[in-house]
Structure 1
Protein backbone atom coordinates (compact mmCIF):
# COMPACT_ATOMS: atom_id res chain seq x y z
CA UNK A 1 0.00 0.00 0.00
CA UNK A 2 1.46 3.37 -0.99
CA UNK A 3 0.87 6.75 0.68
CA UNK A 4 -2.01 7.73 -1.59
CA UNK A 5 -3.81 4.44 -0.89
CA UNK A 6 -3.34 4.99 2.84
CA UNK A 7 -4.64 8.55 2.62
CA UNK A 8 -7.74 7.43 0.73
CA UNK A 9 -8.39 4.64 3.19
CA UNK A 10 -8.10 7.08 6.07
CA UNK A 11 -10.51 9.48 4.43
CA UNK A 12 -13.05 6.75 3.78
CA UNK A 13 -12.80 5.52 7.34
CA UNK A 14 -13.27 8.97 8.71
CA UNK A 15 -16.33 9.74 6.62
CA UNK A 16 -17.97 6.47 7.69
CA UNK A 17 -17.27 6.89 11.38
CA UNK A 18 -19.33 9.01 13.74
CA UNK A 19 -18.03 11.32 14.71
CA UNK A 20 -14.94 11.23 12.52
CA UNK A 21 -11.95 13.05 13.83
CA UNK A 22 -11.73 16.71 13.14
CA UNK A 23 -10.65 17.96 9.77
CA UNK A 24 -7.24 19.30 10.44
CA UNK A 25 -4.43 18.26 8.26
CA UNK A 26 -2.12 17.84 11.08
CA UNK A 27 -3.47 15.17 13.26
CA UNK A 28 -5.22 13.12 10.75
CA UNK A 29 -2.24 12.70 8.80
CA UNK A 30 -0.17 12.33 11.83
CA UNK A 31 -2.43 9.73 13.28
CA UNK A 32 -3.23 8.26 10.02
CA UNK A 33 0.15 7.68 8.73
CA UNK A 34 2.08 6.73 11.70
CA UNK A 35 2.04 9.87 13.45
CA UNK A 36 2.99 12.31 11.00
CA UNK A 37 0.15 14.60 10.33
CA UNK A 38 -1.51 15.41 13.48
CA UNK A 39 -4.35 16.86 11.76
CA UNK A 40 -6.66 18.05 14.37
CA UNK A 41 -6.76 21.01 11.95
CA UNK A 42 -8.23 21.83 14.45
CA UNK A 43 -7.46 22.58 11.21
CA UNK A 44 -6.70 20.30 9.80
CA UNK A 45 -8.21 17.09 13.04
CA UNK A 46 -6.08 19.87 11.21
CA UNK A 47 -4.38 17.24 12.18
CA UNK A 48 -5.77 15.66 9.41
CA UNK A 49 -7.87 13.07 10.24
CA UNK A 50 -8.66 14.87 12.86
CA UNK A 51 -10.01 16.04 9.91
CA UNK A 52 -8.18 16.18 7.35
CA UNK A 53 -9.43 13.46 7.79
CA UNK A 54 -7.49 12.20 6.48
CA UNK A 55 -7.46 15.05 4.68
CA UNK A 56 -5.78 13.05 2.37
CA UNK A 57 -5.02 13.17 -1.12
CA UNK A 58 -3.13 15.45 0.39
CA UNK A 59 -3.52 16.47 3.70
CA UNK A 60 -6.67 15.21 4.60
CA UNK A 61 -8.91 17.73 3.41
CA UNK A 62 -10.21 15.99 0.67
CA UNK A 63 -11.65 18.04 -1.81
CA UNK A 64 -15.20 18.06 -2.35
CA UNK A 65 -15.38 14.46 -1.43
CA UNK A 66 -18.23 13.91 0.71
CA UNK A 67 -20.69 11.55 1.76
CA UNK A 68 -23.58 11.93 -0.22
CA UNK A 69 -25.57 14.57 0.72
CA UNK A 70 -29.04 14.36 -0.13
CA UNK A 71 -31.56 16.48 1.57
CA UNK A 72 -30.85 19.81 3.05
CA UNK A 73 -29.46 21.93 0.22
CA UNK A 74 -30.15 25.52 1.13
CA UNK A 75 -32.29 26.43 -1.86
CA UNK A 76 -35.72 27.91 -2.13
CA UNK A 77 -38.36 25.25 -2.01
CA UNK A 78 -35.85 22.64 -0.87
CA UNK A 79 -35.87 20.63 2.36
CA UNK A 80 -35.55 22.49 5.62
CA UNK A 81 -31.94 22.40 6.87
CA UNK A 82 -31.33 21.00 10.33
CA UNK A 83 -29.94 23.63 12.68
CA UNK A 84 -26.59 22.74 14.20
CA UNK A 85 -26.59 22.41 17.97
CA UNK A 86 -24.85 25.02 20.07
CA UNK A 87 -22.83 22.31 21.78
CA UNK A 88 -22.42 18.97 20.08
CA UNK A 89 -23.94 15.93 21.81
CA UNK A 90 -23.81 12.27 20.86
CA UNK A 91 -26.58 11.49 18.43
CA UNK A 92 -27.10 15.06 17.24
CA UNK A 93 -27.88 15.26 13.51
CA UNK A 94 -25.28 16.69 11.18
CA UNK A 95 -25.93 20.40 10.54
CA UNK A 96 -27.54 21.94 7.49
CA UNK A 97 -29.02 18.71 6.20
CA UNK A 98 -25.64 17.00 5.74
CA UNK A 99 -25.33 13.22 5.75
CA UNK A 100 -21.93 13.35 7.48
CA UNK A 101 -19.31 15.90 8.52
CA UNK A 102 -18.43 17.03 5.01
CA UNK A 103 -20.41 19.70 3.16
CA UNK A 104 -20.79 18.78 -0.50
CA UNK A 105 -22.83 21.76 -1.71
CA UNK A 106 -24.19 25.11 -0.61
CA UNK A 107 -22.50 28.10 1.07
CA UNK A 108 -19.83 26.02 2.85
CA UNK A 109 -18.51 24.67 -0.43
CA UNK A 110 -18.73 28.14 -1.95
CA UNK A 111 -16.51 29.50 0.83
CA UNK A 112 -13.87 26.80 0.62
CA UNK A 113 -13.79 26.93 -3.19
CA UNK A 114 -13.09 30.67 -2.99
CA UNK A 115 -10.41 29.94 -0.38
CA UNK A 116 -8.69 27.61 -2.84
CA UNK A 117 -8.93 30.18 -5.64
CA UNK A 118 -7.50 32.92 -3.38
CA UNK A 119 -4.64 30.62 -2.42
CA UNK A 120 -3.88 29.93 -6.09
CA UNK A 121 -3.78 33.64 -6.90
CA UNK A 122 -1.33 34.27 -4.05
CA UNK A 123 1.71 32.39 -5.37
CA UNK A 124 4.72 34.51 -6.34
CA UNK A 125 5.65 35.36 -9.92
CA UNK A 126 7.42 32.47 -11.62
CA UNK A 127 5.21 29.83 -9.98
CA UNK A 128 1.96 28.43 -11.39
CA UNK A 129 -0.84 26.35 -9.89
CA UNK A 130 -1.85 23.91 -12.66
CA UNK A 131 -4.72 21.46 -12.32
CA UNK A 132 -2.50 18.37 -12.18
CA UNK A 133 -3.49 14.77 -11.57
CA UNK A 134 -1.75 12.00 -9.66
CA UNK A 135 -0.65 8.85 -11.52
CA UNK A 136 -3.77 7.16 -10.13
CA UNK A 137 -5.93 9.81 -11.80
CA UNK A 138 -7.25 11.91 -8.92
CA UNK A 139 -6.80 15.70 -8.94
CA UNK A 140 -4.05 17.22 -6.82
CA UNK A 141 -6.16 20.31 -6.17
CA UNK A 142 -8.85 19.71 -3.61
CA UNK A 143 -10.87 21.55 -1.03
CA UNK A 144 -13.05 20.45 1.87
CA UNK A 145 -15.48 22.13 4.25
CA UNK A 146 -16.11 20.12 7.38
CA UNK A 147 -18.19 20.42 10.54
CA UNK A 148 -15.41 19.78 13.06
CA UNK A 149 -17.06 19.79 16.50
CA UNK A 150 -16.81 16.69 18.67
CA UNK A 151 -19.08 15.86 21.60
CA UNK A 152 -19.08 18.61 24.21
CA UNK A 153 -17.54 21.23 21.91
CA UNK A 154 -19.25 24.31 20.54
CA UNK A 155 -20.02 24.32 16.82
CA UNK A 156 -17.11 25.14 14.56
CA UNK A 157 -16.04 24.46 10.98
CA UNK A 158 -12.78 23.71 9.25
CA UNK A 159 -12.12 24.81 5.69
CA UNK A 160 -9.05 23.44 3.93
CA UNK A 161 -7.54 23.66 0.46
CA UNK A 162 -4.50 21.98 -1.06
CA UNK A 163 -2.97 22.95 -4.40
CA UNK A 164 0.06 21.85 -6.44
CA UNK A 165 2.57 24.61 -7.23
CA UNK A 166 4.83 24.22 -10.26
CA UNK A 167 7.98 25.86 -11.53
CA UNK A 168 10.23 24.64 -14.35
CA UNK A 169 8.50 21.29 -14.42
CA UNK A 170 9.01 20.70 -10.68
CA UNK A 171 6.08 20.43 -8.29
CA UNK A 172 5.54 21.34 -4.63
CA UNK A 173 2.37 22.15 -2.73
CA UNK A 174 0.53 24.51 -0.44
CA UNK A 175 -2.09 23.72 2.19
CA UNK A 176 -4.34 26.36 3.69
CA UNK A 177 -6.53 25.72 6.70
CA UNK A 178 -9.04 28.20 8.11
CA UNK A 179 -10.90 27.16 11.27
CA UNK A 180 -13.82 29.10 12.71
CA UNK A 181 -13.83 30.00 16.44
CA UNK A 182 -14.00 26.81 18.49
CA UNK A 183 -14.33 28.29 21.98
CA UNK A 184 -10.90 27.12 23.06
CA UNK A 185 -8.64 29.56 24.94
CA UNK A 186 -5.89 31.53 23.23
CA UNK A 187 -2.37 30.15 23.51
CA UNK A 188 1.22 31.05 22.68
CA UNK A 189 1.74 31.39 18.89
CA UNK A 190 4.39 28.67 18.80
CA UNK A 191 2.38 26.31 20.98
CA UNK A 192 -0.53 26.78 18.61
CA UNK A 193 1.65 26.26 15.54
CA UNK A 194 3.31 23.17 16.95
CA UNK A 195 -0.09 21.64 17.54
CA UNK A 196 -0.20 20.85 13.86
CA UNK A 197 1.59 17.90 12.33
CA UNK A 198 2.87 16.71 15.63
CA UNK A 199 4.87 19.84 16.31
CA UNK A 200 8.03 18.68 14.57
CA UNK A 201 10.59 21.38 13.82
CA UNK A 202 11.67 24.66 15.35
CA UNK A 203 9.34 27.62 15.82
CA UNK A 204 9.92 31.36 15.54
CA UNK A 205 7.42 34.12 16.21
CA UNK A 206 7.17 36.60 13.35
CA UNK A 207 5.60 40.02 13.94
CA UNK A 208 3.36 41.10 11.06
CA UNK A 209 2.12 44.62 11.78
CA UNK A 210 1.62 43.75 15.42
CA UNK A 211 0.18 40.29 14.75
CA UNK A 212 2.18 37.44 16.30
CA UNK A 213 2.53 34.51 13.89
CA UNK A 214 4.08 31.17 14.82
CA UNK A 215 6.25 29.84 11.99
CA UNK A 216 7.48 26.23 12.26
CA UNK A 217 10.38 25.04 10.08
CA UNK A 218 11.19 21.33 9.87
CA UNK A 219 14.41 19.56 8.96
CA UNK A 220 12.95 17.79 5.97
CA UNK A 221 10.91 15.23 7.87
CA UNK A 222 7.23 14.85 7.23
CA UNK A 223 4.93 16.17 4.58
CA UNK A 224 5.55 19.89 4.93
CA UNK A 225 8.74 21.90 5.19
CA UNK A 226 7.25 24.92 6.90
CA UNK A 227 3.95 26.37 8.12
CA UNK A 228 2.68 29.60 9.67
CA UNK A 229 -0.24 29.79 12.09
CA UNK A 230 -2.16 32.85 13.27
CA UNK A 231 -5.07 33.10 15.72
CA UNK A 232 -7.37 36.13 15.49
CA UNK A 233 -8.86 37.75 18.58
CA UNK A 234 -12.25 36.21 17.76
CA UNK A 235 -10.72 32.70 17.78
CA UNK A 236 -10.48 32.14 14.04
CA UNK A 237 -7.26 30.27 13.21
CA UNK A 238 -5.45 30.31 9.85
CA UNK A 239 -2.63 27.93 8.99
CA UNK A 240 -0.61 28.00 5.76
CA UNK A 241 1.87 25.23 5.00
CA UNK A 242 4.33 24.73 2.15
CA UNK A 243 6.38 21.82 0.82
CA UNK A 244 8.90 21.64 -1.99
CA UNK A 245 7.62 18.20 -2.92
CA UNK A 246 4.19 16.77 -3.64
CA UNK A 247 3.82 13.05 -3.04
CA UNK A 248 3.79 11.10 -6.29
CA UNK A 249 5.35 13.88 -8.36
CA UNK A 250 8.78 13.05 -9.83
CA UNK A 251 10.63 16.32 -9.22
CA UNK A 252 10.44 18.59 -6.15
CA UNK A 253 10.80 22.36 -6.34
CA UNK A 254 14.34 23.66 -6.13
CA UNK A 255 13.33 26.38 -3.65
CA UNK A 256 10.54 27.17 -1.19
CA UNK A 257 7.47 28.86 -2.62
CA UNK A 258 7.49 31.60 0.04
CA UNK A 259 10.06 33.02 2.41
CA UNK A 260 9.28 32.67 6.13
CA UNK A 261 8.20 36.31 6.20
CA UNK A 262 5.90 35.93 3.21
CA UNK A 263 4.34 32.82 4.70
CA UNK A 264 3.62 34.67 7.96
CA UNK A 265 2.17 37.66 6.13
CA UNK A 266 -0.18 35.47 4.10
CA UNK A 267 -1.35 33.66 7.23
CA UNK A 268 -2.72 37.02 8.43
CA UNK A 269 -4.33 37.99 5.11
CA UNK A 270 -8.01 38.91 5.53
CA UNK A 271 -9.00 36.86 2.46
CA UNK A 272 -8.14 33.63 4.29
CA UNK A 273 -10.18 34.37 7.42
CA UNK A 274 -13.49 32.52 7.58
CA UNK A 275 -15.24 33.01 10.90
CA UNK A 276 -18.55 31.25 10.22
Structure 2
Protein backbone atom coordinates (compact mmCIF):
# COMPACT_ATOMS: atom_id res chain seq x y z
CA UNK A 1 0.00 0.00 0.00
CA UNK A 2 1.40 3.35 -1.01
CA UNK A 3 1.25 6.67 0.84
CA UNK A 4 -1.66 8.19 -1.13
CA UNK A 5 -3.84 5.13 -0.47
CA UNK A 6 -3.16 5.28 3.27
CA UNK A 7 -3.92 9.01 3.33
CA UNK A 8 -7.23 8.43 1.49
CA UNK A 9 -8.23 5.66 3.91
CA UNK A 10 -7.54 7.81 6.96
CA UNK A 11 -9.46 10.74 5.42
CA UNK A 12 -12.48 8.48 4.79
CA UNK A 13 -12.32 7.21 8.37
CA UNK A 14 -12.48 10.74 9.77
CA UNK A 15 -15.28 11.71 7.38
CA UNK A 16 -17.46 8.67 8.08
CA UNK A 17 -17.17 8.89 11.88
CA UNK A 18 -18.65 12.07 13.41
CA UNK A 19 -16.90 13.81 16.28
CA UNK A 20 -18.24 12.62 19.68
CA UNK A 21 -20.10 15.14 21.82
CA UNK A 22 -17.97 17.00 24.41
CA UNK A 23 -17.95 15.75 28.00
CA UNK A 24 -19.37 17.85 30.81
CA UNK A 25 -16.59 19.62 32.70
CA UNK A 26 -17.37 17.87 35.97
CA UNK A 27 -17.24 14.42 34.35
CA UNK A 28 -14.06 15.27 32.46
CA UNK A 29 -12.26 16.48 35.59
CA UNK A 30 -13.28 13.43 37.62
CA UNK A 31 -12.14 11.09 34.86
CA UNK A 32 -8.86 12.94 34.47
CA UNK A 33 -8.15 12.75 38.19
CA UNK A 34 -8.81 9.02 38.29
CA UNK A 35 -6.52 8.26 35.36
CA UNK A 36 -3.80 10.69 36.40
CA UNK A 37 -3.36 8.76 39.62
CA UNK A 38 -2.20 5.71 37.72
CA UNK A 39 1.50 5.93 37.00
CA UNK A 40 1.35 3.72 33.92
CA UNK A 41 -0.64 6.34 32.05
CA UNK A 42 2.50 8.49 32.16
CA UNK A 43 4.23 5.82 30.06
CA UNK A 44 2.33 6.68 26.90
CA UNK A 45 -0.93 4.77 26.71
CA UNK A 46 -2.28 7.48 24.43
CA UNK A 47 0.43 6.78 21.84
CA UNK A 48 -0.23 3.06 21.99
CA UNK A 49 -3.95 3.60 21.43
CA UNK A 50 -3.28 5.83 18.42
CA UNK A 51 -0.99 3.21 16.84
CA UNK A 52 -3.61 0.53 17.51
CA UNK A 53 -6.30 2.62 15.82
CA UNK A 54 -4.20 3.13 12.66
CA UNK A 55 -3.29 -0.56 12.56
CA UNK A 56 -6.93 -1.66 12.74
CA UNK A 57 -7.86 0.81 10.04
CA UNK A 58 -5.66 -0.93 7.48
CA UNK A 59 -6.32 -4.57 8.40
CA UNK A 60 -8.76 -6.23 5.94
CA UNK A 61 -11.87 -7.73 7.44
CA UNK A 62 -12.14 -5.35 10.41
CA UNK A 63 -15.03 -3.26 9.15
CA UNK A 64 -16.79 -2.02 6.04
CA UNK A 65 -15.05 -1.04 2.83
CA UNK A 66 -14.74 2.68 2.21
CA UNK A 67 -15.83 4.31 -0.99
CA UNK A 68 -12.34 5.40 -2.02
CA UNK A 69 -11.77 2.44 -4.30
CA UNK A 70 -8.55 1.53 -2.51
CA UNK A 71 -9.88 -1.74 -1.04
CA UNK A 72 -8.90 -0.50 2.44
CA UNK A 73 -11.39 -1.42 5.18
CA UNK A 74 -12.16 0.81 8.14
CA UNK A 75 -12.29 -0.67 11.61
CA UNK A 76 -15.66 -0.56 13.30
CA UNK A 77 -17.79 -2.24 15.92
CA UNK A 78 -21.20 -3.16 14.47
CA UNK A 79 -22.83 -2.75 17.87
CA UNK A 80 -21.37 0.70 18.36
CA UNK A 81 -20.26 -0.29 21.89
CA UNK A 82 -16.92 0.88 23.27
CA UNK A 83 -14.78 -1.36 25.43
CA UNK A 84 -12.59 -0.07 28.30
CA UNK A 85 -8.85 0.07 27.68
CA UNK A 86 -7.08 -1.81 30.52
CA UNK A 87 -4.41 0.19 32.35
CA UNK A 88 -2.13 -2.81 32.74
CA UNK A 89 -1.60 -5.97 30.69
CA UNK A 90 -3.63 -8.73 32.41
CA UNK A 91 -2.00 -12.07 33.18
CA UNK A 92 -3.90 -13.80 30.38
CA UNK A 93 -2.38 -11.58 27.67
CA UNK A 94 0.63 -13.81 26.94
CA UNK A 95 -1.43 -16.98 26.45
CA UNK A 96 -2.67 -18.22 23.08
CA UNK A 97 -6.48 -18.72 23.09
CA UNK A 98 -7.89 -21.98 21.76
CA UNK A 99 -10.54 -22.09 19.05
CA UNK A 100 -13.75 -20.47 20.25
CA UNK A 101 -12.22 -19.29 23.52
CA UNK A 102 -13.26 -15.86 24.81
CA UNK A 103 -10.35 -13.46 24.29
CA UNK A 104 -11.69 -10.28 25.98
CA UNK A 105 -10.57 -9.01 29.41
CA UNK A 106 -11.69 -11.22 32.28
CA UNK A 107 -11.42 -9.11 35.43
CA UNK A 108 -12.37 -10.49 38.85
CA UNK A 109 -16.11 -10.52 39.69
CA UNK A 110 -15.75 -7.43 41.88
CA UNK A 111 -14.63 -5.43 38.84
CA UNK A 112 -17.41 -4.24 36.54
CA UNK A 113 -15.71 -4.21 33.17
CA UNK A 114 -12.38 -2.61 34.03
CA UNK A 115 -9.43 -2.89 36.40
CA UNK A 116 -11.06 -0.95 39.26
CA UNK A 117 -12.90 -2.82 42.02
CA UNK A 118 -16.50 -1.69 42.49
CA UNK A 119 -17.44 -4.12 45.29
CA UNK A 120 -15.91 -6.93 47.30
CA UNK A 121 -12.90 -7.27 49.61
CA UNK A 122 -10.47 -5.19 47.54
CA UNK A 123 -12.95 -2.34 47.29
CA UNK A 124 -13.25 -2.53 51.08
CA UNK A 125 -9.44 -2.39 51.34
CA UNK A 126 -9.56 0.94 49.55
CA UNK A 127 -12.15 2.22 52.03
CA UNK A 128 -10.03 1.05 54.97
CA UNK A 129 -7.01 2.83 53.52
CA UNK A 130 -8.99 6.06 53.27
CA UNK A 131 -9.93 5.72 56.94
CA UNK A 132 -6.24 5.30 57.81
CA UNK A 133 -5.26 8.33 55.72
CA UNK A 134 -7.86 10.51 57.43
CA UNK A 135 -6.53 9.36 60.81
CA UNK A 136 -3.00 10.35 59.72
CA UNK A 137 -3.86 13.98 58.96
CA UNK A 138 -1.32 16.01 61.00
CA UNK A 139 -2.29 18.13 63.98
CA UNK A 140 -3.42 21.62 63.06
CA UNK A 141 -5.05 20.45 59.82
CA UNK A 142 -8.57 19.21 59.16
CA UNK A 143 -9.68 16.42 56.83
CA UNK A 144 -12.24 18.08 54.61
CA UNK A 145 -15.59 16.50 53.77
CA UNK A 146 -18.02 17.08 50.94
CA UNK A 147 -16.78 18.25 47.56
CA UNK A 148 -15.46 21.25 45.66
CA UNK A 149 -17.79 23.78 44.07
CA UNK A 150 -17.30 21.96 40.77
CA UNK A 151 -18.31 18.62 42.25
CA UNK A 152 -15.00 16.84 42.94
CA UNK A 153 -15.07 14.88 46.26
CA UNK A 154 -12.60 15.94 48.94
CA UNK A 155 -12.14 12.27 49.89
CA UNK A 156 -11.62 9.41 47.45
CA UNK A 157 -10.30 5.87 47.24
CA UNK A 158 -9.86 3.15 44.64
CA UNK A 159 -8.39 -0.33 44.27
CA UNK A 160 -7.11 -1.60 40.92
CA UNK A 161 -5.68 -4.89 39.77
CA UNK A 162 -2.26 -4.37 38.20
CA UNK A 163 -1.46 -7.67 36.48
CA UNK A 164 -0.61 -10.02 39.36
CA UNK A 165 -1.16 -7.70 42.32
CA UNK A 166 -3.57 -5.08 43.67
CA UNK A 167 -2.86 -1.40 44.18
CA UNK A 168 -4.93 0.62 46.67
CA UNK A 169 -5.02 4.40 46.79
CA UNK A 170 -6.74 6.95 49.00
CA UNK A 171 -6.60 10.74 49.12
CA UNK A 172 -8.06 13.42 51.36
CA UNK A 173 -8.05 17.19 51.03
CA UNK A 174 -6.60 18.81 54.14
CA UNK A 175 -7.35 22.33 55.24
CA UNK A 176 -5.73 24.96 57.42
CA UNK A 177 -7.17 28.47 57.54
CA UNK A 178 -8.19 29.37 53.98
CA UNK A 179 -5.69 26.94 52.42
CA UNK A 180 -6.46 23.48 51.06
CA UNK A 181 -3.84 20.84 50.29
CA UNK A 182 -3.83 17.07 49.99
CA UNK A 183 -2.54 13.91 51.64
CA UNK A 184 -2.45 10.82 49.43
CA UNK A 185 -1.34 7.23 50.07
CA UNK A 186 -0.80 4.51 47.48
CA UNK A 187 -0.17 0.91 48.52
CA UNK A 188 1.02 -1.84 46.16
CA UNK A 189 0.43 -5.29 47.59
CA UNK A 190 3.12 -8.04 47.54
CA UNK A 191 3.88 -9.41 44.09
CA UNK A 192 4.68 -6.03 42.57
CA UNK A 193 7.90 -5.50 40.60
CA UNK A 194 8.93 -2.22 42.26
CA UNK A 195 12.62 -1.90 43.28
CA UNK A 196 13.97 -2.53 46.77
CA UNK A 197 16.42 0.38 46.91
CA UNK A 198 14.81 3.28 48.78
CA UNK A 199 15.59 6.03 46.28
CA UNK A 200 15.04 3.87 43.19
CA UNK A 201 11.65 3.04 44.68
CA UNK A 202 10.77 6.68 45.39
CA UNK A 203 11.58 7.65 41.80
CA UNK A 204 9.05 5.09 40.52
CA UNK A 205 6.09 6.95 42.05
CA UNK A 206 3.89 7.65 39.02
CA UNK A 207 7.11 7.63 36.98
CA UNK A 208 7.95 11.14 38.17
CA UNK A 209 11.63 10.64 39.11
CA UNK A 210 13.36 13.50 40.93
CA UNK A 211 16.29 14.07 43.28
CA UNK A 212 15.98 11.68 46.21
CA UNK A 213 17.17 11.99 49.80
CA UNK A 214 17.34 8.77 51.89
CA UNK A 215 15.82 9.23 55.35
CA UNK A 216 16.36 6.72 58.16
CA UNK A 217 13.35 5.74 60.28
CA UNK A 218 14.50 3.32 62.99
CA UNK A 219 16.16 0.54 61.00
CA UNK A 220 14.27 1.42 57.81
CA UNK A 221 15.51 3.56 54.94
CA UNK A 222 12.92 5.65 53.13
CA UNK A 223 13.36 7.62 49.91
CA UNK A 224 11.98 11.18 49.96
CA UNK A 225 11.61 13.40 46.89
CA UNK A 226 10.54 17.05 46.57
CA UNK A 227 8.97 18.34 43.38
CA UNK A 228 9.22 22.12 43.61
CA UNK A 229 8.01 23.75 46.81
CA UNK A 230 4.49 22.37 46.73
CA UNK A 231 4.80 18.57 46.46
CA UNK A 232 6.79 15.86 48.24
CA UNK A 233 6.48 12.12 48.60
CA UNK A 234 8.13 9.20 50.38
CA UNK A 235 8.43 5.57 49.28
CA UNK A 236 9.06 2.51 51.46
CA UNK A 237 9.11 -1.23 50.77
CA UNK A 238 8.18 -3.49 53.68
CA UNK A 239 9.92 -6.84 54.20
CA UNK A 240 6.91 -8.73 52.80
CA UNK A 241 7.07 -6.75 49.52
CA UNK A 242 4.28 -4.28 50.27
CA UNK A 243 5.17 -0.84 48.88
CA UNK A 244 3.78 2.35 50.42
CA UNK A 245 3.96 5.82 48.91
CA UNK A 246 2.83 8.87 50.88
CA UNK A 247 2.46 12.16 49.02
CA UNK A 248 1.69 15.60 50.45
CA UNK A 249 0.88 18.70 48.44
CA UNK A 250 0.03 22.31 49.17
CA UNK A 251 -2.83 22.05 46.65
CA UNK A 252 -5.08 19.14 45.59
CA UNK A 253 -3.92 17.18 42.55
CA UNK A 254 -7.24 17.75 40.81
CA UNK A 255 -9.59 20.53 39.79
CA UNK A 256 -8.91 24.08 38.72
CA UNK A 257 -8.39 26.65 41.51
CA UNK A 258 -9.72 29.34 39.20
CA UNK A 259 -12.97 27.37 38.94
CA UNK A 260 -13.47 26.02 42.46
CA UNK A 261 -11.88 28.92 44.36
CA UNK A 262 -9.51 26.78 46.46
CA UNK A 263 -6.47 28.50 47.92
CA UNK A 264 -3.22 26.51 48.46
CA UNK A 265 -1.64 25.85 51.83
CA UNK A 266 1.16 28.18 52.82
CA UNK A 267 3.58 25.29 53.46
CA UNK A 268 3.81 21.51 53.25
CA UNK A 269 2.23 19.99 56.39
CA UNK A 270 4.96 17.41 57.15
CA UNK A 271 8.73 17.56 57.49
CA UNK A 272 10.79 15.01 55.55
CA UNK A 273 11.28 12.97 58.73
CA UNK A 274 7.54 12.95 59.46
CA UNK A 275 6.69 12.07 55.86
CA UNK A 276 9.18 9.18 55.88
CA UNK A 277 7.87 7.89 59.21
CA UNK A 278 4.33 7.96 57.83
CA UNK A 279 5.40 5.81 54.86
CA UNK A 280 6.51 3.08 57.30
CA UNK A 281 3.26 3.23 59.32
CA UNK A 282 1.76 -0.24 59.69
CA UNK A 283 -1.80 1.13 59.40
CA UNK A 284 -1.35 1.53 55.64
CA UNK A 285 -0.51 -2.15 55.03
State which structure, 1 or 2, has the greater radius of gyration over its C-alpha atoms. 2
Aligned partner (choices 236, 240, 249) of residue 234 of structure 1? 240
User: 1:137 aligns to what SS in structure 2?
Assistant: coil
Distance 2:251 2:46 in 1: 17
CA pair 225-258 structure 1, distance change in 2 beyond 3 A: same
Aligned residues: 205
Check conservation: 1:200, 1:218, Cα contact below 8 A.
no
Change (3 A) 1:9 1:161: closer
Normalised TM-score (structure 2): 0.63
What residue is the counterpart of 1:89 in the other structure?
92
- Partner residue in 1 for 2:273: 261
1:213 alignment partner in structure 2 = 222
Deviation at 1:30, TM superposition (A): 7.3
Q: What is the alpha-carbon distance in structure 2 between the residues aligned to residue 32 and residue 5 of structure 1?
A: 20
> Which structure features the higher share of helix residues?
2
Distance in 2 (alpha carbons) for counterparts of 1:183 and 1:125: 33
- Which deviates further from its counterpart, 242-251 or 23-32? 23-32
Aligned to 1:170: 179
Q: Contact between 1:193 and 1:216, CA under 8 Å: does it hold in 2?
A: yes
SS of equivalent to 1:109: helix
Counterpart contact for 2:160–2:166, Cα < 8 Å = yes
Instruction: Tell me the distance in 2 between the aligned counterparts of 1:133 and 1:157.
Output: 27
Q: Post-superposition shift, 1:233?
A: 1.9
2:213 aligned to which of 204, 207, 232 = 204
- Matches for 1:114-125 after TM superposition, within 5 Å: 114-125=128-139
Question: 1:98-117 counterparts in 2 under 5 A?
Answer: 98-99=111-112, 100-117=114-131
Shift of 1:194: 0.6
Gaps of at least 5 residues in structure 2 are 1-22, 48-82, 84-89, 94-102
Deviation at 1:123, TM superposition (A): 1.4
Task: Extract unaligned runs of 5+ from structure 1.
Answer: 15-22, 35-66, 68-86, 150-154
Shift of 1:32: 8.0
Query: 1:131, 1:122 → 2: CA distance?
Result: 15
Q: 1:203 to 1:3 in 2, by over 3 A?
A: farther
Residue 193 of structure 2 corresponds to residue 184 of structure 1: yes
**Structure-to-structure mapping, 1:35-184, within 5 angstroms:** 88-90=91-93, 91=103, 93-99=106-112, 100-149=114-163, 155-184=164-193
C-alpha distance in structure 1 between counterparts of 2:144 and 2:46, whole Å: 27
1:244 maps onto 2:247 in alignment? no
Aligned partners of 1:3 and 1:252: how far apart in 2? 22
Q: Is the 8 A contact 1:238 1:268 kept in 2?
A: yes
TM-score for the superposition, normalised by structure 1: 0.65
